[in-house]
Amino acid sequence: MTTINTAPAILKELEKLGNPNTKRMLVNNHGIKEPCFGVKIGDMKPIVKRIKSDYQLALDLYATGNYDAMYLAGLIADDERMTKRDLQKWANQAYGGSLPGYTVAWVTAGGRYGWEMGLKWIESPKEHVAVAGWSTLACLMGMKPDEELDLPHIKKLIERITKTIHDEPDLVRYWMNGFLIATGCGVASLTDIVRRSAKKIGPLTVYLGNNQCKTPSIEDYILKVEQRGTIGKKRKNVKC
């Protein structure tokens, strides 16, 4: 029997895959709102493998407002076809959980407007949009060849974070920290600059909700990557 890849059909498929414990964890510990089925990411992978990439279907799934469908939308989005309007709409609706820092950032960084939209979003007074911005820029540090990156501008962003990170909301602090880690690990010429920034910043306290999530240490993270000999190594894709 042929599976119909439409948003209503996939919603029914996701509903069957829903796990009460996963849903409880997402709602209670990560601030996810209804509607949500609680589908484990691993259980979405067969759907992703079947669909691969579908621009319109991704838009339709995200527009449902169902958390699982929105996450799945990011995994099957045709990043190159996403318009600025599409991306802005997604960022505006990425209210929490993995949506702003992962789903929206992955798709934006993988498309044509990653740098532009990332710089725009980090200026937003809306925490979730600013999160999407810093995470998008972080993704670019690990994907784009150094010659395609605006290194002078990135240095200014590092200086900005060093001066302002402690004054930002929790999740923005977390993703500013993530941007520094991605830059220090992904852009070899800036590794030492990031290390100096980390020393100036000092201990970073971030409240991530009622869960076990922790804020990674910039210096420790860079050291581990350095010990593996993979500083400056780029990835083709950040989705997972």
Segment 123-180, tens digit of pLDDT: 999 999 999 999 999 999 999 999 999 999 999 999 999 999 999 999 999 999 999 9
Predicted TM-score (pTM) of this structure = 0.96
Nearest to 64 by CA among 36, 23, 29: 36
On whether the CB atoms of residues 134 and 154 are closer than 8 A, the answer is: no
Domain limits of the chain? Answer: 112-240
pLDDT over 80 at 2, yes or no: no
pLDDT digits (tens, 9 = 90+) for 7-40: 999 999 999 999 999 999 999 999 999 999 999 9
